[in-house]
Structure 1
């Protein structure tokens, strides 16, 4: 009887510890979060996605002060070369607009650029459970999130999804 009870408790615990499924769409809060484009205009994440509707998107969350972000840039540039029809959307967590724009120029980043005004604590970052950068997300042509959490450009999920 005691063994059966322990097994029951163990099975309940194991099922409650099961990893949560990763989301396939952005929350309403994340979509409503406000970003800044390179011209200084405010734009919601929803509007950003709408701009690239019907295209595959790689989202790269980065900052010019982030060593791992800088070290990954040659690989992200190679990924761009290998996926010319994919939109590369760079979302910056720099401390301010000046540092963000200087980083784009310094590292010669080609792609679409937006500044995350709400930073690490905003609705977009909270939805992502953002705890590390760089962070890569892939959104398919139907706006479905295909890769939710990748922290390396050569992550197998990222490469496999882009090959499809």
Structure 2
């Protein structure tokens, strides 16, 4: 019985630390909106930046930690101008999302997950339980950093520096 318990614990621990390198088909089929209300799938959104390194910042206009992280994100934008900074908002209120971009002067590519942070294939895939959330996608479209919750996390810089 102890051996079975130990095996189960190891299995659960290894599953929770899994870091996928590709998005699931379901996550890629989820929809996002642009600032002018054009609807794309996540896959179509990512295809726009094919061949480029992308930092995804999952945020919301009402999120204090997201706003506090913006100066660090701006520093990253200065240090890595070749990187696409893709801001993926989980605001359910599109007006609040648009006003937040303007109010906080957020420069980059902007998309909205209209279902918010609790529902949807993309947020389920990334197991979104906290924002901000940062991810790095390499030039080949692989996830090189699956999860960082602080814009000053050294793992972000490491992923952005990777030459692939």
* SS in structure 2 of the partner of residue 89 of structure 1: strand
Deviation, structure 1 residue 118: 2.2
Structure whose CA Rg is larger = 1
CA contact (8 A) 1:34 1:118 kept: no
Unmatched runs of 5 consecutive residues or more in structure 2: none
1:106 partnered with 2:103: yes
Structure 1 position 158, deviation (Å): 1.1
Partner of 2:12: 17
5+ residue gaps, structure 1: none
Conserved 8 A contact 2:92-2:114? no
1:52 aligned partner: 49
Structure 1 pair 123–9 and aligned structure 2 pair: CA distance change class (3 A): closer
| TM-score normalised over the length of structure 1 | 0.92
Match of 1:40 in 2: 37
- 1:63 is matched with 60
1:28 aligns with 2:52: no
| Whole-Å separation in 1 of the counterparts to 2:25 and 2:12 | 27
Distance 2:150 2:5 in 1: 35
Aligned residues: 159
Query: What is the aligned partner in structure 1 of residue 112 from structure 2?
Result: 115
Give 1:88's aligned residue. 85
1:74 matched to 2:71:
yes
Rounded to whole Å, the distance in 2 between the matches of 1:100 and 1:159 is 27
Q: With the length of structure 2 as denominator, give the TM-score of the two structures.
A: 0.92
Tell me which residue corresponds to 2:123. 125
Over the aligned positions, Cα root-mean-square deviation in angstroms equals 1.4
Aligned to 1:150: 148
Contact 2:32 2:112 in 1 (8 A): yes
Please report how far the alpha carbon of residue 16 of structure 1 lies from its aligned counterpart in structure 2 after TM superposition.
Answer: 2.0
Shift of 1:159: 1.5
Between the aligned partners of 1:12 and 1:101, the Cα distance in structure 2 is 49
Which whole-Å CA distance do the structure 2 matches of 1:9 and 1:127 have between them? Answer: 29
